[in-house]
Amino acid sequence: MKANFKEELLKAKAGKYAIPAFNFDNLEMAKGIIAAAEAENFPVILMVTESAAKYIGLEYVYAIGKIAVEQSQVPLIFHWDHGFDIELIKRACDNGFSSVMLDASTKSFKENVKLTNEIVDYAHARGVYVESEIGHVGGKEDDRDSKETSFTDVNEAIEFNKLTGIDALAIAAGTAHGVFKSKPKLQYDLIEEIVNKLSTPIVLHGSSGVPHEDLQKAISLGITKINIGTDLKIAYAEALKTWFVKNPQKFDARQFGSFAIEAVKKVAIEKIKVFKNQ
């Protein structure tokens, strides 16, 4: 069932839990994510990045989102994640996405505000919600690999929020996209200060590999949306490797695809249980 992006995040903030936002790169991953949400009877955000959408095919992605929203037995938000191409973000707004994210975090503050306002105006006119990022979460995201990370400045976050009217703000507070080479150090004081000074829901990106207790602490401080991509990619890939080691002569895509769906579902369920914070 279709859910309202901002309403779900505000409910999460009030209830001291977080909505899991899961990336999918193909149909099997999407099915695993939705199956996990239904198994736990918990709302999820089903996300696709720009390059994943291009890989799958934009029209196929639009169709997957439409069917997912219509048939899901739990509240589901279809989200365009880490959009860099303004025109593709606008197309997402016109093709069934509940919410979109513009990532202009590597640009100047002024340019980030300008581009975000363009998307906010376009999206809000169509009933679509907008997430944007201030500060920069580094690491490998989509086809981009950023070596730089800059923690969010609290005053910039306040000003950015005021100037843009966004519905959710992604901050840089110690996480990174991709696989961590060492244990991440979340900036809890920074998270708490931003949450306390803004009514807008706050988002944590790059959270694969972060210890569950660290994520739960971030949730207790007010984080309401947590993005998970790499953990599901690893689960999917490892499942396929395991399948072909055990079944070297079985090439039925329905069989190894189902095996991978279950692996994604299992990891997504683990995350949902953590984000419920119960």
Q: Which residue numbers are catalytic?
A: 81
b/e code 213-247 from CB counts within 10 Å (16+ = b): ebbbbbbebbbbbbbbbbbbbbbbeebeeebeeee
Beta strands 144-146 and 139-141 are antiparallel
φ, ψ of residue 228 in degrees (nearest 5)? -130, 120
Task: Count the Cβ atoms, other than its own, within 10 Å of residue 60.
Answer: 13
Which residue in this structure is represented by tokens 């070297």?
A: 248
DSSP structure string for 207-247? -TT--HHHHHHHHHTTEEEEEE-HHHHHHHHHHHHHHHHH-
| Residues 6 or more apart in contact with residue 239 via CB below 8 angstroms | 256, 259, 260, 262, 263, 264
Sign of the C-alpha dihedral, residues 119, 124, 130, 134? Answer: positive
Residue 177 is encoded by which pair of tokens?
């996209």
Cα separation, 237 vs 5, in Å, equals 30
Residue 94 is encoded by which pair of tokens?
């016109």
Of 32, 68, 41, 40, residue with least CA distance to 262: 32
Maximum separation of any 2 CA atoms in the chain, in Å: 59
H or E, element range at 113: helix 109-124
